[in-house]
Amino acid sequence: MKHPSSRDLFTYWTKQRGERPAPDRADIDPAEIRHALGDVFMLAADFVEGQRFRLAGTRVCALFGRELKGESFSAAFAVTSRQEVLAMLTDVIGESAGLVAGVAGHNTQGETTDLELLLLPLARKDYARVRAIGVLAAHETPCWIGERPIQNLTLGTVRYVGAQTETPKSFLPALEARLRRGFRVYQGGLGNLNGKAG
């Protein structure tokens, strides 16, 4: 994690979960992450169309030039990234581990900016609809933000974090053969690839 807001939220999330796979929504005190709040968002389950923004910090909304509350999280991404984003959400929410990803933001004039996405699960307790907390932050805020907002995002490299290890074992089948920037990623090393030696 390169962005300070990502590091702050991940450190706090880790402390609040303790020995559990993920903390509850009630464990998250905004005052404890006040320096990162502008870059923080929460996602809530919508039983019709998946995960939607429950809230989004001021800097997250400024990237898109509008209030994001109630909008679909996956719809913020270009069609080319959307299927992987949906699979990613399923992994995070279902497996109680998080991820950090490189993301590119694009405006209508073809300008781009590099962002960091952190997505962490929240415990599913008492039918709670809020399922994830995250950060979406630009490494360097471009001069055009505010005048020419981001229209869509494209997903880059993704790394899973959280659980017991940086790549939880329960994720291995889901991650096998997933496309990453033109490369096919196989877990387990060369000797385990389809049972053949490299």
Encode pLDDT of 53-65 as tens digits.
999 999 999 999 9
Q: What pLDDT, on the 0 to 100 scale, is given for residue 11?
A: 96
Residue 117 in this model has a pLDDT that exceeds 90: yes
> Which pLDDT score, from 0 to 100, does residue 100 have?
96
Is pLDDT above 50 for 180? Answer: no
DSSP string, the chain: --SHHHHHHHHHHHHHHTTSSS--GGG--GGGGTTTGGGEEEEEEETTTEEEEEEE-HHHHHHHTS--TTSBSGGGB-HHHHHHHHHHHHHHHHHT-EEEEEEEEE-TTS-EEEEEEEEEE----TT-SEEEEEEEEESS--TTTTTS---EEEEEEEEEESSSSSS-GGGHHHHTTEEETTEEE-TT-GGGBTTB--
Q: If pLDDT is split at 50, 70 and 90, which confidence band does 36 have?
A: very high
Query: Which pLDDT band, with edges at 50, 70 and 90, does 175 fall under?
Result: very low
Q: In whole angstroms, give the CA distance from residue 97 to residue 116.
A: 17
Has residue 182 got a pLDDT over 60?
A: no
Q: Which residue has the higher pLDDT, 20 or 5?
A: 5
Q: What is the pTM of this model?
A: 0.80
Which long-range contacts (C-beta less than 8 Å, at least 24 apart) are formed by 12-15?
13/98, 13/120, 13/133, 14/162
Instruction: Say what the pLDDT of residue 144 is.
Output: 93
Which pLDDT does position 124 carry in this prediction? 74
Residue 177 has pLDDT above 60, yes or no: no
Mean pLDDT value across residues 32-44: 96
Q: What are the tens digits of pLDDT across the range 68-106?
A: 999 999 999 999 999 999 999 988 888 778 999 999 999
33 token code pair: 């992450």
pLDDT at 178 over 80: no
Give 17-21's long-range contacts (Cβ < 8 A, gap of 24+): 20/123, 21/96, 21/97, 21/121, 21/123, 21/162, 21/163
Q: What is the mean pLDDT of the chain?
A: 83
Q: Please name each of the domains of the chain with its CATH number.
A: 4-165 (3.30.450.20)
Q: Which pLDDT value is given to residue 47?
A: 62
